[in-house]
Amino acid sequence: MFTGASNLADGVDKAFLFIFIIAFIFIIGISAFMIWTLIHFSRKKGKAPMQFSGSMKLEVVWTVIPTILVLLMFWIGWKGFAPMRRVPPDAMRVTAIGRMWEWEFVYQDSMRSKELVLPINKPVKLDLVSEDINHSLFIPAFRVKEDVIPGYDNWLWFTPNYIGDYEILCTEYCGLLHSAMIAKTRIVEQEEFDKWLADLRTASFIPDPEGLVLLRGTGCLACHSLDGAKLVGPSFRGFYGSQRIVTSGNTQKTITADDEYLISSIYNPDEQIVEGYSRGLMQSYRGLLNESDISIIAEYLKTLNGENQ
Ligand code: CUA
């Protein structure tokens, strides 16, 4: 009757079903007894109340039976729980990262995926990492759930038993989009997994854009950030096409950051100084970058006009 989607599911389901059946029997039994006493001992029937105290037999019965039931619950629960903390040494390792508000899975410490793809019938250990606050990774179909706590090395493991797609949820309230912190785990045949991983490897090593390589190679990034941060010089993020107030000689004017301005800034950096920055900190890059290099850089800078602008 048990055919769980993971090797751990049956143990959880058995404990749940056992406790559920006992609770069900008790709630029906106790409710029926209460209703029966209401009717049977009704005052309208004119029965005289009787005073008595103590019943050894009753005391023993209601101590021994619940003790046995609770011990059975513990035993069945333990049988389901113990394997969850015994990872097979050959388990594949994947790092599961939780952050507000998404899951990300890292294969072999380098390849990142938003989807947890796993081969069927192979044990996997998920190392749980939080990048911000407390989350909790829950895969209901596999009956696994562990908290994901910043600074604490938590983990879980399981072996998926069936091909298919299963939901991954966050079960620790973590803010505005907690309920949207959902991912998918896809269980596939080994061959399909190998192919998927190879594709992920290819996708993970897309070469950097040529413009970025030029910026890095010429040392521009030491003084100009790509993320909007103010360093020695203005950031490249949101730079291209923006309006800037510059000082040229003793006069201030507003210019548009286009190719022409870029060439002028690279060849004669002190000629037009952006408001808030100082003269004399940048050398001319004439001879290091030619005009076609600069137009490649301009193309790259256009791609940086993203969300922060
Ligand atoms: Cu992450 Cu709730």
134 Cα nearest atom in ligand 1: 1
Buried b (16+ CB within 10 A) or exposed e, 223-244: ebbbebeeeebbbbbbbbeeeb
Per-residue pLDDT of 77-112, as tens digits, reads 999 999 999 999 999 999 999 988 899 999 998 888
182 alpha carbon to ligand 1 midpoint, in Å?
9
C-alpha span between 76 and 294 (Å, rounded): 70
Beta bridge partners of 244: 255
Domain boundaries, the chain: 1-36+56-86, 92-204, 210-308
Token pair in block for residue 229? 């941060």
Per-residue pLDDT of 29-38, as tens digits, reads 999 999 999 9
135 Cα nearest atom in ligand 1: 1
108 alpha carbon to ligand 1 midpoint, in Å?
25
pLDDT of residue 43: 83
Residue type, 303: T
Q: Give the SS3 label for residue 270.
A: coil
170 Cα nearest atom in ligand 1: 2
Q: For domain 92-204, give the CATH number.
A: 2.60.40.420
102 alpha carbon to ligand 1 midpoint, in Å?
8
Q: Which of 162, 197, 169, 164 is nearest to 183 (CA)?
A: 169
133 alpha carbon to ligand 1 midpoint, in Å?
8
Maximum distance among all Cα pairs of the chain, rounded to whole angstroms: 114
Q: Is 122 in the pocket of ligand 1 (CB under 6 A)?
A: no
pLDDT of residue 2: 67
CATH superfamily of 210-308: Cytochrome c-like domain (1.10.760.10)
Token pair in block for residue 88? 């097979």
C-alpha span between 63 and 61 (Å, rounded): 5
Q: Which of 127, 179, 124 is nearest to 7 (CA)?
A: 124
Q: Which of 202, 196, 302 is nearest to 242 (CA)?
A: 302
Q: Whose CA is nearest to atom 1 of ligand 1?
A: 135
Per-residue pLDDT of 233-269, as tens digits, reads 889 988 888 888 888 888 888 989 988 899 999 998 8
